[in-house]
Structure 1
Amino acid sequence: MKINVFKGSMIILMVLLFLVSVTAVSSADNNTDVSILTLSKGGITIQYPSDWGDSQATSNYSVMAISKISSVDGLGIGKININIEKKPFEGEFGSFVNETYDKMKKDSSYKLVSSGSVVVNNKEAYEYVYTSTQGTGEKEHKAIWFEKGGQAYVIMYSAPISDFENNLYVFDFVLSNIQIN
């Protein structure tokens, strides 16, 4: 009888140890440290967290794009992404930027949430926040426009509305550390 109790206790102890080790490994996987990576392309250098990565852009003016790795599809395009574009322009910069959004206002799949002047890293810029219903569902977008050396630069963050606020900190981090040479 004592041997059966001893065997039963050993089995219970082994099961408990197994469960504790599985929980510890699972916990370690969920708490991986995120490091900061650097990407340089086309005279632009950014820093971003390692749970994001270089991805495909959908614009011809794109210099670089990064996406949250877990949101990238089979074509390499992220549902949660930051795209940096460089566009030539003529005339007054503010008019150029505003004309872009004047065209969007006529398209019912876009809704302007807010717009205005902002200062980013001691540089004047224009900020536009809008939603769109094109493609795979409703997304929210935030675009910061600024001019340097006769070129228009726009840094755009896009995400499904349900993911927008949770990932906005990455856009803010990229924006605060961007370097344009």
Structure 2
Amino acid sequence: MKTKILKGSIVVFVLLLLFVSVASISAESNDTSVLSLSKSGITINYPSNWGYSQAISPYSIMAISKADDVDSFGVGQVNINIEKKPIEGDFATFVNKTYEPMKYDSNYQLVSSGSSMIAGNKAFEYIYTSKENNVAKEHKAVWFEKGGQAYVLLYSAPMDKFESNLYVFDYILSDIQIT
């Protein structure tokens, strides 16, 4: 009889501990709301623990970074940059030429490439790694064409932070509005 009461108490204790853990996680996730950013016919929604940041590329139309990974120059180490470039020639050829130099630079390694869809538009996707100034990063780039312009959404993060933040990039890709 005491064994059944003891087992029942343990089950109740474990369930209570599980309930408190779930409530704690739910409270933490409720602190994050969704923000929007719109420019050049592109609208994205992103979590409030990310924010607008500086981009290094002159083609950037908007950039966001994980708020706790922005350096003293305002550049995010975990970031999503959206660029717009004029297309020279055929779109597929233009995109593929962008990655051609990687074959000859040991600081870059192409991991995969293929096609996908973004907001109903045919897109090209590239995943690659880089090493600059002894910092190894992983990148995911998704390219699409609109109005004779090439757009690229580029997610970059240090290797140890890439997978854990990829869900934000994937959410933006699934929810992006292109007008």
Quote the Cα distance in structure 2 between the aligned partners of 1:30 and 1:168: 19
Quote the Cα distance in structure 2 between the aligned partners of 1:120 and 1:60: 23
3-state SS, counterpart of residue 167 of structure 1: helix
Unaligned runs of 5+ in 2: 1-23
- Report the CA distance between 1:90 and its aligned residue: 2.0
Quote the Cα distance in structure 2 between the aligned partners of 1:32 and 1:136: 37
Quote the Cα distance in structure 2 between the aligned partners of 1:28 and 1:93: 44
Superposition CA RMSD, Å: 1.8
Report % sequence identity.
62
Q: TM-score, normalised by structure 2?
A: 0.82
AA in 2 matched with 1:63: I
Q: Given the alignment, which residue of 93, 115, 126 partners 1:117?
A: 115
Distance 1:91 1:101, change over 3 A: same
Quote the Cα distance in structure 1 between the aligned partners of 2:29 and 2:61: 32
Q: Is 1:151–2:149 an aligned residue pair?
A: yes
3-state SS, counterpart of residue 133 of structure 1: strand
Distance 1:73 1:29, change over 3 A: farther
Aligned match of 1:76: 74
3-state SS, counterpart of residue 123 of structure 2: strand
Assess if the C-alpha contact under 8 Å between 2:119 and 2:178 holds in 1. no
Assess if the C-alpha contact under 8 Å between 2:119 and 2:177 holds in 1. no
Assess if the C-alpha contact under 8 Å between 2:59 and 2:83 holds in 1. yes
The higher radius of gyration belongs to 1
| Correspondence list, 1:1-181, <5 A | 33-135=31-133, 137-181=135-179
Assess if the C-alpha contact under 8 Å between 2:51 and 2:64 holds in 1. yes
- Report the CA distance between 1:154 and its aligned residue: 0.2
- Report the CA distance between 1:120 and its aligned residue: 2.5
- Report the CA distance between 1:136 and its aligned residue: 5.1
Aligned match of 2:5: none
Quote the Cα distance in structure 2 between the aligned partners of 1:71 and 1:43: 27
3-state SS, counterpart of residue 141 of structure 2: strand
3-state SS, counterpart of residue 58 of structure 1: coil
Quote the Cα distance in structure 2 between the aligned partners of 1:116 and 1:142: 12
Unaligned runs of 5+ in 1: 1-25
AA in 1 matched with 2:144: F
3-state SS, counterpart of residue 171 of structure 2: helix
How many equivalent pairs are there?
Answer: 156
- Report the CA distance between 1:42 and its aligned residue: 2.7
Distance 1:131 1:27, change over 3 A: closer
